[in-house]
Homo-oligomer: A and B are copies of this chain.
Amino acid sequence: MKIITINREFGSGGREVGKRLADALGFAYFDTEIVEAIAERSKVDAEYVHNVLERGVFNEISLTFAHSFAYSPQYHKSFSIMEHQNEIVKELAAQGDCVIVGKNADTILKNENPLKLFVHADMEYKIKRCMERAEEGENLTERQMKRKIKKIERARASDHSYYSEIRWGDKRGYDLCLNTTGLEIKSVIPALAEFAKAWFQEEKDGE
């Protein structure tokens, strides 16, 4: 099974890299599907799961525990989301070659030896990209957008720290780190697809 996991800074275009790379390689692409599957099994709505994952599921578990000093229903919900995330990521990866963006897939699937990518960009570039792509009704100033980006990245980093000793975004935890600052992502996809093919071939030869 060939699995590519993508971790990314918010606004760096990591999701675009994932989608396009999956297309180029003919791999399945999983992102919101995971959120929906978690929602179904945890019997909550997808929006709720999305928010918990965005805040970091482990953060949420510790927070809900700390607030209630007990195993509250809130705590159980967060815990169930975490368990189902692990379960679903493993199930999807077992189905066939795929690209998974976020969802702590790099660490959940570490025994499957995925190709691990990290996508990042300068803050200024991320703000610009986010402003251009903001959903209707989201009228954040640049300053507010910067705060949002930092908040989400802090949550990703913190969540990652529960799973792994290597810091989120530390290059040692990834096979390739791509800086998308000023880059038209689609132009480098054929090269990344070729890199992935060579990398998986290598893995196979090395077995």
Contacts and interface: CB of A to CB of B under 8 A. Distances in A.
Interface of A: 118, 120, 122, 169, 171-172, 174-179, 182-184, 187-188, 190-192, 194-195, 197-199, 201-202, 205-206
A191 B171 CA distance: 19
B174 A187 contact: no
Contacts of A174: 177, 179
A198 B206 contact: no
B179 A171 contact: yes
A194 B190 contact: yes
Nearest to A202: B187
A169 B175 CA distance: 14
B172 A171 contact: no
Contacts of A171: 118, 120, 169, 171, 177, 179
Contact of A195 (B195, B199, B201, B206): B195
B175 A176 contact: no
A194 B192 CA distance: 9
Nearest to A190: B194
A186 to B, nearest CB: 9
Contacts of A118: 171
A178 B176 CA distance: 5
8 contacts: A174-B179, A176-B177, A176-B178, A176-B179, A177-B177, A184-B202, A187-B198, A187-B199
